[in-house]
């Protein structure tokens, strides 16, 4: 076995200790006589796993009482539509969105199927960034909520403070959930595909406020056909995410990832760890002028630093040489090019050191 330095954007690197726990349970989970993938989701052992995953997420994020915690399928792309379908009853219902890159562009497309959705802010200029405290947001008084993408995986930018508004927030937190403390009480809905900070792909964590659950009832009563069962937050909450068979292995893996975070000191410890890693990488990006960061300094992501070399051709060479040297997944997203290192919670400081050392070597040879 030769596990390499893995900087993939998602599915992403996971701690070996978590992987080994999944491995061990595949032929038999505990003393059940059944493997992890073969056990009924209605069984006591699986219910205990699901309950523990929920309890851990509640503790880690400080989720207020009354909020529902769901483990669904379909990823953030399904939530782009599902959250709007639960909150907006048609063209008379308004929401605002902050457009900071690719995933928010995808989100607005799905949200507009359900209501009147307008951009309160839109990325412009050469460098990626997100609105900073004091920047004007063009929010509408009668907007019911404001949607934003807390971290932009493709563009490498991240909100370091919540958007300035009193409206309920809806946040796509796929790429930075549990990487730092967040005030959940300011949010109507938080959703996150698990495959970056919470485990394997195929599970989506969704946190839903009491206000958002009320909206589901309001909308259900007005839209033709009503809310489809699988898209109804109330039903998913009532059934503890087990209206139908959930991704049982995915929820087990997520529980183990949350345990790993808790054992590592929680989200505050993760934030310190992530800051250290990002600082080391950005210091190298800024060191000599050979590399150029793709994001303004104040918007830089702790999860997905993006940068470029002197030419697109050299970026291609960098990716090829890095791959050969055991540093994987450094190619920028196909829509923007350049370079990107995805350094979620599980990424080790030693991987950053290996990357920085390789960047310095590359600069010596090609600079």
Q: Which of 156, 250, 305, 338 binds a second copy (CB under 8 A)?
A: 250
Cα–Cα distance, 324 to 308 (Å, whole number): 19
Q: For this structure, is 196 an active site residue? A: yes
Residue 148, classified by CB atoms within 10 Å of its CB into exposed (0-12), middle (13-18) or buried (19+), is buried
For residue 327, list its beta bridge partners: 5
Cα–Cα distance, 151 to 129 (Å, whole number): 10
Number of residues that bind a second copy (CB under 8 A): 72
Cα–Cα distance, 26 to 11 (Å, whole number): 20
Is 199 a binding residue for a second copy by CB under 8 A? The answer is yes
Is 34 a binding residue for a second copy by CB under 8 A? The answer is yes
Q: Which of these segments, 128-136, 161-169, 219-227, 268-276, binds a second copy (CB under 8 A)? A: 219-227
Is 243 a binding residue for a second copy by CB under 8 A? The answer is yes
Q: Which of these segments, 178-186, 241-249, 274-282, 357-365, binds a second copy (CB under 8 A)? A: 241-249
Q: For this structure, is 239 an active site residue? A: no
Q: For this structure, is 172 an active site residue? A: yes
Is 168 a binding residue for a second copy by CB under 8 A? The answer is no
Interacting positions 78-137 with a second copy (CB under 8 A) = 78, 80-81, 85, 90, 106, 109-110, 112-114
Cα–Cα distance, 316 to 24 (Å, whole number): 39
Cα–Cα distance, 53 to 247 (Å, whole number): 13
Q: Which is nearer to a second copy, 63 or 192 (CB)?
A: 192
Q: How far is the CB of 177 from a second copy (least distance, A)?
A: 15
Q: Which of 158, 171, 195, 301 binds a second copy (CB under 8 A)?
A: 195
Q: Which of 175, 179, 215, 247 binds a second copy (CB under 8 A)?
A: 247
Q: Which residues of 230-241 are buried (b: 16+ CB within 10 A; e: fewer)?
A: ebbbbebbeebb
Q: In this structure, are strands 169-172 and 187-193 parallel, antiparallel, or unpaired? A: parallel
Is 200 a binding residue for a second copy by CB under 8 A? The answer is yes
Please state, as a whole number, how many other Cβ atoms lie within 10 Å of the Cβ of residue 227. 19
- Name which of 41, 25, 21, 44 is nearest 33 in CA terms: 25
Is 326 a binding residue for a second copy by CB under 8 A? The answer is yes
Is 202 a binding residue for a second copy by CB under 8 A? The answer is yes
Q: Which of 9, 173, 182, 219 binds a second copy (CB under 8 A)?
A: 9
Measured in degrees and rounded to the nearest 5, phi and psi for residue 242 equal -120, 40
Provide the annotated active-site residues.
103, 172, 196
């Amino acid at each position: 076995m030769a596990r390499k330095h893995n900087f993939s954007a998602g599915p992403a690197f996971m701690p070996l200790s978590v992987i080994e726990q999944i491995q061990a349970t595949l032929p038999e989970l505990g003393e059940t006589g059944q493997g992890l993938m073969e056990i009924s989701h209605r069984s006591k052992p699986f219910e205990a796993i699901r309950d523990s995953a929920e309890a851990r997420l509640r503790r880690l994020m400080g989720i207020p009482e009354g909020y529902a915690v769901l483990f669904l399928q379909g990823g953030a792309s399904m939530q782009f539509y599902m959250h709007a379908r639960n909150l907006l009853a048609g063209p008379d219902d308004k929401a605002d969105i902050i457009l900071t890159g690719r995933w928010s562009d995808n989100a607005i497309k799905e949200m507009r199927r359900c209501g009147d959705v307008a951009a309160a802010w839109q990325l412009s200029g050469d460098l990626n960034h997100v609105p900073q405290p004091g920047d004007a947001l063009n929010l509408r008084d009668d907007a019911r909520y404001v949607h934003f993408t807390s971290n932009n995986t493709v563009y490498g930018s991240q909100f370091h403070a919540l958007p300035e508004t009193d409206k309920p927030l809806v946040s796509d937190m796929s790429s930075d959930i549990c990487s730092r403390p967040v005030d959940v009480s300011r949010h109507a809905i938080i959703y996150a595909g698990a495959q970056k900070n919470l485990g394997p792909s195929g599970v989506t964590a969704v946190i839903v406020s009491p206000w958002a659950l009320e909206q589901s009832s309001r909308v259900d009563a007005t839209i033709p056909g009503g809310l489809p069962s699988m898209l109804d937050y109330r039903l998913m909450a009532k059934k503890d995410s087990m209206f139908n068979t959930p991704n049982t292995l995915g929820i087990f893996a997520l529980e183990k990832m949350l345990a790993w975070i808790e054992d590592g000191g929680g989200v505050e410890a993760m934030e310190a760890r992530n800051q250290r890693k990002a600082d080391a990488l950005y210091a190298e990006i800024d060191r000599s002028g050979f590399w150029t960061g793709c994001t303004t300094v104040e918007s830089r992501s702790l999860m997905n630093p993006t940068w470029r070399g002197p030419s697109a051709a050299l970026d291609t060479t960098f990716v090829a040489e890095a791959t050969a040297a055991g540093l994987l997944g450094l190619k920028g997203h196909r829509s923007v090019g350049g370079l990107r290192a995805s350094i979620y919670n599980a990424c080790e400081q030693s991987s950053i050191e290996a990357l920085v050392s390789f960047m310095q070597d590359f600069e010596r040879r090609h600079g």
